[in-house]
Chains A and B, each alone.
Chain A
Amino acid sequence: MNWKLSAGLLLIASPLFAQADSEWLLDHGVLNYHVSHPMHQVDGVSHAAKGKGTCRAGQCNFLVAAPVKSFDSGDSNRDLHMLQVVRGGEFPMVSVRTQLPADAAKSTTVHADLEIEFAGQTVQYKEVSFHLVMQGNEAKLTGTIPAKLTDFKIDPPSLLAIPVKNDLPIYVELTWKRQK
């Protein structure tokens, strides 16, 4: 087999690898919500997210989820209040689903349509940008979901009769590992 034939086979094989079925598991994930008030700023972080992705026939499905009560703002009283406000007793999970073409991994910026289930509501966010870094069998995805309290029909909690701002940006940092 000469080098031209080898190179030709390699060129044909590359897109095939890109299209190959694969499975991804979330190695570690950080979800961070930010709540803003004229007198106070709060960040709640969860390290309890689990996720899985499957790629078949050039299409990938991903699901990331975390228990709502796993978010820690450094104050258990506030966390329980937040859990109550977001109806976490009745809807204890927050989950994010997305579908991406397998070749989305070729770019460092991924624009994903997200479907978020939270507080008993399912809300879709279109074209949310994430930064992607591929390293071998590992993919690191970072970005911010521009969520709002009213999207999920959540009454904003108040401090000294002043409600918090409607914006609830969720910063995500997800490290995925390819399984097969």
Chain B
Amino acid sequence: MRLKPAKIALGSAILLCGIFASTPANAQTAGGAVSGTVTSPSGAVVPNAKVSAKAIATQQITETLTDSNGHYAFASLPPGDYEISVSAEGLGTASARITVAADGTTTADVKLSGAISLGDLGFSPAQTQGSAEDQARLNKRSHMLMLHQRFGLIATVPLIATLATSINAGGKSTSTTDRDLHVALGAVTGDLYGISAYYAIRAPRIEGTQTRGPIKAHKILAWIHGPGMILTPILGAIAFDQKNKGEKVHGIASAHGPVAIVTAAAYGAAILSVTFKF
């Protein structure tokens, strides 16, 4: 079948009419207009104020400025809920919630309060807005450090008792009862110390914090008593074994006493470095 040019032209024209006819219909339902006037606390119109319309659903922001009559207008915004925010130099900021209806015109006049905002001072939203998560992290940190402190203080009791019983457990003493008591107290000390250390190590870190003050000494001392608390029972076990065999403590095991004393001294100093602070 061969079509005549006139028929082709007519068909094309009908098709194009159909396309163009449908386009305005879609545009008419696409959005609504928003306009208003921005005034100062005294009621004077505010020219050159920055006006933004933020779609609540999409967070999309459209901006404009007020004219010399304090008037602003958004010709076509997609229907939905919006936050209209206005800011002007020296007059602060203000905002209003509106709903834009399709094919409608919404009027949103805004009066600036004149109040200065944190944004006017140059603070960013990241600085001024906190969160429940940040507070929860701080709460968890404080709670865990409180447990660290309590277990650490409780551990001093068996620690002192362990040191006291070492006099009868070592040297020329042959009493197995004294040695067993010394070992038992040392084990209790080690367990409590381990629990205390766990809470200190696992407490959440707070970003952007530099260690200052007595806590610095407290942390440095932990590098002495921490390894000491591991080494002391290992050396003690060797010494215990040697004594049980009726041997004199010798070799590396003879370092058990000095290592224990250094560890206990570092531990005591670490406690004192922070005890008189809150």
Contact = CB atoms under 8 A, between A and B. Distances in A.
A72 to B, nearest CB: 7
Given A80-B138, A158-B278, A89 B213 contact: no
A164 B127 contact: no
Contacts of A90: 130-132, 134-135
A65 B114 contact: no
Contacts of A93: 118, 123, 127-128
A53 B90 CA distance: 9
Given A63-B116, A89-B134, A159-B277, A50 B123 contact: yes
Contacts of B208: 69
A97 B136 contact: no
Contact of A157 (B121, B135, B278): B278
Given A52-B116, A63-B116, A91 B211 contact: no
A87 interface: yes
B277 A77 contact: yes
Nearest to A52: B116
A11 to B, nearest CB: 27
B262 interface: no
Most chain B CB within 10 A, of A56, A72, A73, A164, is at A56
B114 A56 contact: yes
Nearest to B137: A89
Interface in A47-65: 50-54, 56-57, 61-63, 65
Nearest to A49: B121
A89 B130 contact: yes
B206 interface: yes
Contacts, number: 122
Contact of A76 (B42, B128, B135, B209): B209
A89 B134 CA distance: 5
Contact of B213 (A39, A52, A74, A85): A74
B114 A164 contact: no
Interface residues of B, number: 43
A65 B120 CA distance: 11
B255 to A, nearest CB: 33
A40 B135 contact: no
A171 to B, nearest CB: 21
A63 B121 CA distance: 8
A84 B90 contact: no
A27 interface: no
A106 interface: no
A167 interface: no
Interface string B239-278: 0000000000000000000000000000000000010111
Contacts of A54: 90-91, 114, 116
B227 interface: no
Nearest to B120: A52
Contact of B115 (A61, A75, A79): A61
A83 B276 contact: no
Contact of A52 (B121, B138, B210, B278): B121
Contacts of B24: none
A113 interface: no
A74 B241 CA distance: 49
6 contacts: A65-B118, A77-B218, A77-B274, A77-B277, A89-B131, A97-B115
Interface of A: 23, 37, 39-40, 42, 50-54, 56-57, 61-63, 65, 67, 69, 72-81, 83-85, 87-93, 95, 97, 157-159, 164
What are the 5 closest A-B residue pairs judged by CB atoms, nearest first?
A75-B213, A89-B135, A89-B134, A159-B278, A77-B215
